[in-house]
Structure 1
Amino acid sequence: MKYLMLVLVIVLAGCSSAPKGITPVDGFQLERYLGTWYEIARQDHSFEDGLSKVSATYSMQEDGGVAVLNKGYSKEENKWQEAQGRAYFVASSDVGHLKVSFFGPFYGAYVIFELDKEHYQYAMISGPNRDFFWLLARTPTISESVKAELLEKARVQGFSVDDLIMVEQP
């Protein structure tokens, strides 16, 4: 997994800006975002190849940043894989735009462009371009109607949703 995260870091190195036309959410409240999120759908990338039961847990660091623990189960290897990282706001802490690193000084974009602001139950995330997309939720599953609505919003924003991986959760 460390090798795969290194590949991600190299791909994303220096790419902490939002994709053109993607606007990070404002009115963001980090304290409400902290905790565990489950991956519902994602674009296919080698660093998550074959992983199911994927989650991301966010917690505060002493330096004001955010500790990130990504975890997924590899059926092929019959074991859990983890990647630990850290994230910092790119600008203001009330804007859902962070830069995240899983290795050294190299950061990639983490752009929250859709968020259930009332309950913080789902979020859509972009990387530095539209080749990176994640649909996250506070629970391992969400209703098909909510998922369809969110994926249509992602399609309208220019993300290719036809080939998304629907993540197997417990």
Structure 2
Amino acid sequence: MTIRKLLSALIPLALTGACVGSPGPVGNAAVPEPAKPVALDAYLGTWYEYGRYEAPFQDGCEGVTADYTLRDDGKISVVNSCYEGGLDGEFDQATGRARVVEGSDGAKLEVSFFGPFYGDYWVLDRGEPDDNGQYPWSIVGEPSGRYLWMLTREPQPDAERRAMLEARVRELGYDWSLVRLTRQPAS
């Protein structure tokens, strides 16, 4: 699915707060509130998708990355990229914006690829800042429990990080059997 299709699929998501197309199963009927505050400076930068709940708007995407940068207006620029159908597939990108939800300690964002439509983006948990001042991993969800993403700063997380992410996703109440691991290019 091209990013253009992704964008057209996100309009109903933003309007209804539900899944677009054929919604996937609810993988967590009791999505928890975010566990920790999120400092924007530590969250900005490039993230590699380690795994996700499959969503119609990401069908077949591999090599998924998300780049977050601060805009002059205080919002966040979001650039999502993927290779369609496999790592040798067509490269596609979508650019959007995000804003921090007031009173959320930075852990809840609203993301839009079409204004004025925004979707929920909750940083449910994240690692402690590394030597570069960045969070090394994050687990992202939203209130319906149908979407889940695990993000890391490296395309190929080591076995310890992979095991920790699986354990933490389970602790947060998500059904691990619904997770689809994302293939990333070799580093």
TM-score (norm 2): 0.81
Indicate yes or no: 2:69 matched with 1:69: no
Checking the alignment, whether the CA contact within 8 Å between 1:111 and 1:126 is kept in structure 2 is yes
Is the aligned partner of 1:159 residue 2:169?
A: no
User: What is the aligned partner in structure 1 of residue 10 from structure 2?
Assistant: 8
Alignment of 1:18-167 (within 5 A): 20-75=30-85, 78-92=89-103, 94-119=105-130, 120-167=135-182
Residues 83, 89 of structure 2: 8 Å contact kept: yes
* SS in structure 2 of the partner of residue 87 of structure 1: strand
Cα deviation for residue 104 of structure 1 reads 2.2
Please report how far the alpha carbon of residue 148 of structure 1 lies from its aligned counterpart in structure 2 after TM superposition.
Answer: 2.0
User: Which residue identity lines up with residue 134 of structure 1 in the other structure?
Assistant: W
- Aligned AA for 1:7? A
Aligned residues of 2:139 and 2:149 also touching (Cα < 8 A): yes
Deviations 1:53-112 (A, max 9, x none): 100000011110100000001136931111111100111473311000111211111100
Contact 1:96 1:113 in 2 (8 A): yes
How far apart, in 2, do the equivalents of 1:20 and 1:63 lie?
Answer: 34
Identity of aligned residues (%): 32
Comparing 151-160 with 109-118, greater Cα deviation is found at: 151-160
User: Counterpart of 1:162 in 2: which secondary structure?
Assistant: helix
Q: Give the letter for the 1:70 counterpart.
A: N
**1:22 positional shift:** 1.4
Amino acid at match of 1:24: P
C-alpha contact 1:41 1:135 (8 A) present in aligned 2: yes
Report SS of the residue matched to 2:176.
coil
Deviation at 1:25?
4.0
Return 5+ residue gaps in structure 1 as ranges.
Answer: none
- Count of paired positions: 168
Compute the TM-score of the two structures, normalised by the length of structure 1: 0.89
Three-state SS of the structure 1 residue aligned to 2:163 is helix
